[in-house]
Chains A and B, each alone.
Chain A
Amino acid sequence: MLSQENEFCMAMTVLERQQARLKWLQQLHSYGNQQNVLESSSMPQFQGFFGHTPETGELVDSKKKPGMYLGSSGLPRYGDFSLAASEIEDNKLDLVQAELRNRHPEIHHCLSRTSSFHMGLDDSANIEKLVENATGEDVTLKGKTQTSLKRLSPNKRKQELVAAECKDKRIKGDLDLESTVKEKSTKENSAGLSKQNQNTSTAQKTDYIHVRARRGQATDSHSLAERARREKISKKMKSLQDLVPGCNKITGRAGMLDEIINYVQSLQRQVEFLSMKLAALNPRTELNLDNFSKREFPAYVASFPAATLSSAMDSLSHLQLNLVQQASAGSEPELLKNLHQVEPEKTPNSSAFIPELSLDSSSFSQAQSIWDADLQALHNMGFHLHQG
């Protein structure tokens, strides 16, 4: 605990030093110096600021007790401190901001937090370098952490600690600065950390845009995504319900799915049946068509009621025969027209829901024989007509 107190004091002094440094920075920028120059020239002066480096010896000692840093008692304090520091820094930054037009305030903000945390952990020279890098140059967080990694390579746990702290802060930053982050981050000189900040915040935002949690509903991202998915599924189910006839009356998804499955199966069976029919019928009809194609159909159709299988077909037979003729002649556009002409009268029949289509071989052969007989009659009559 004593070392903690030490650190806290140390951090406070560091805060003062930061303020002084910021003022100094202000001056530098008013002179319009380049940042590289700033970096190179600032080191000795900063060393001057940090005259009492021996104190860091205690800190190094305290570093050997990682439990202190990982303990729950230690961290909140740093958090408090860093927040307070950031507030102070904010005030200062408002002043600095006018001069550093393009500079990202978020950089200072985040960095001041992280750096203040570093203060407690590491010797001040490193920190000074870090802070200076960040404030003087537009270095991404990655670069910073890499440089700090280089310096802090002996104990990686610190790095983890820093990362955890950063995460905490990021969450806090989301809460506090969510509205301001976006504006700030649109600037060119946005640092890596603020980019990450923005990413996370926008990701959360997009979730919130699509799905709104009602009162009493969970708001974490998983349950939000799950809810969105469920809504999507129910929407799809509704559209399916509209497609399948007789599905409107059924309530409950299980029944509805059963109905849909039945319908798809029946449709597939109908396709099978129809292709069977086409396969069985076509050779003879093609032959017949070859024979008939040169003759006059209307007169023939009028004297041929036996070929029509139903009353509906009777009225359509003329058209259909024309259509077949055209099919054999190979003029597809007209055929399509005719086909469409035929369809309006056909649709009630074809769209009717046929639950069971017997596809067993016996009935099929029976049907085939009937058709064959019809075709034979058709052929004969055509032949007679030709002779006559």
Chain B
Amino acid sequence: MSPQRLSLNPRSLKSRFTKGFLRSLRKIHKERPTSTSPREIFQRYRKVKTAADKSLASAVGSGRAWSRAMLCKCKNQGKRRPVLVRRINNNRAMKRSELTEKKSGDDDEEVGFDQASGLRKLVPGGQAMDLCRLLEEAAHYIKCLNTQVQVMRCIADCYTT
């Protein structure tokens, strides 16, 4: 292991994400330190997942469409009741998909882009993008997901041993 490796850029995406994620993890675990029931674990899982998404999106900032969409989603999840949110989201999603189907129909008609709607669902906020933007955002999203997986895996390994 080279000593140069030690100097990590503190402003890089990885370090920013790690900082934010560890902070929110600690907060989560302070709330309910001891609970072993599956229900509790599941709730905690939801929280950890949201924390991971949120810290990644805030580390990326609001410069990207997908991070904005993700932050918005996290905010809404925290605010409202889950049932209400689901209903509203469903309505919204329905409307949006109806709207965008027309719009994206032109894009997806292009040769070899039949699967673009699949990618649209995966990339946050992808329903409202045109094809060019979607591909751009998807590339950035994949990079960030890679970083997220690396960091989370590292943290998980640290905790298990």
Chain A residues within CB distance 8 Å of chain B? 229-230, 232-233, 236-237, 239-240, 243-244, 252-254, 257-258, 260-261, 263-265, 267-268, 270-272, 274-283, 285-287, 307-309, 313, 316-317, 320-321, 323-324, 327, 332-333, 335-337, 339-347, 349-351, 361, 365, 371, 374
- Which residue in A260, A279, A323 is a CB contact (below 8 Å) of B47? A279
Are the C-beta atoms of B131 and A261 separated by less than 8 Å? no
Chain B residues within CB distance 8 Å of chain A? 1, 5-8, 10, 14-15, 18-19, 22, 25, 28-29, 32-36, 38, 41-42, 44-45, 47-49, 51-52, 110-116, 118-119, 122-123, 131-132, 135-136, 138-139, 141-143, 145-146, 148-161
Chain A contact surface mostly? helix
The interface residues of chain B lying within 8 Å CB-to-CB of A313 are 157, 161
Q: A-B pairs with the 3 shortest C-beta distances?
A: A253-B112, A236-B135, A279-B44
Are the C-beta atoms of B118 and A272 separated by less than 8 Å? no
Known: A233-B135, A257-B118, A341-B6. A240 touches B142 (CB 8 A): yes
Known: A278-B159, A323-B158. A340 touches B8 (CB 8 A): yes
Known: A258-B115, A274-B153, A332-B22. A371 touches B160 (CB 8 A): yes
- Which residue in A275, A333, A346 is a CB contact (below 8 Å) of B154? A346
- Which residue in A282, A347, A350 is a CB contact (below 8 Å) of B25? A282
The distance from the CB of B151 to the nearest CB of chain A, in whole angstroms, is 7
Known: A240-B139, A243-B143, A340-B8. A351 touches B45 (CB 8 A): no
Are the C-beta atoms of B132 and A232 separated by less than 8 Å? yes
The distance from the CB of A238 to the nearest CB of chain B, in whole angstroms, is 10
Are the C-beta atoms of B45 and A374 separated by less than 8 Å? no
The interface residues of chain B lying within 8 Å CB-to-CB of A286 are 29, 33
Closest B residue to A277 by beta carbon equals B156
The interface residues of chain B lying within 8 Å CB-to-CB of A263 are 142
The distance from the CB of B59 to the nearest CB of chain A, in whole angstroms, is 13
* A232, A237, A261, A361: residue with the most chain B Cβ atoms closer than 10 Å: A261
6 contacts between A and B (CB under 8 A): A236-B139, A264-B123, A339-B8, A341-B5, A343-B150, A350-B150
- Which residue in B1, B6, B135 is a CB contact (below 8 Å) of A237? B135
A243 vs B147: C-alpha distance when bound (angstroms): 12
* B10, B114, B135: residue with the most chain A Cβ atoms closer than 10 Å: B135
A261 vs B113: C-alpha distance when bound (angstroms): 12
The distance from the CB of A208 to the nearest CB of chain B, in whole angstroms, is 21
The interface residues of chain A lying within 8 Å CB-to-CB of B145 are 264, 267-268, 271
The distance from the CB of A10 to the nearest CB of chain B, in whole angstroms, is 53
Q: How many A-B residue pairs have CB under 8 A?
A: 187
* B138, B142, B157: residue with the most chain A Cβ atoms closer than 10 Å: B157
A275 vs B42: C-alpha distance when bound (angstroms): 10
Are the C-beta atoms of A309 and B156 separated by less than 8 Å? no
Given A267-B149, A350-B150, A361-B38, 8 extra CB contacts under 8 A: A240-B142, A244-B142, A261-B118, A264-B119, A271-B149, A313-B161, A350-B154, A371-B160
- Which residue in A280, A283, A336, A337 is a CB contact (below 8 Å) of B45? A280
Are the C-beta atoms of B160 and A374 separated by less than 8 Å? yes
A317 vs B145: C-alpha distance when bound (angstroms): 26
Are the C-beta atoms of B156 and A274 separated by less than 8 Å? yes
- Which residue in A240, A285, A335 is a CB contact (below 8 Å) of B22? A335
Are the C-beta atoms of A281 and B156 separated by less than 8 Å? yes
Known: A252-B112, A309-B160. A261 touches B45 (CB 8 A): no
The distance from the CB of B156 to the nearest CB of chain A, in whole angstroms, is 5
A274 vs B149: C-alpha distance when bound (angstroms): 8
- Which residue in A261, A268, A344, A345 is a CB contact (below 8 Å) of B119? A261
Are the C-beta atoms of A279 and B158 separated by less than 8 Å? no
A252 vs B112: C-alpha distance when bound (angstroms): 7
- Which residue in B33, B110, B150 is a CB contact (below 8 Å) of A347? B150
A365 vs B45: C-alpha distance when bound (angstroms): 14
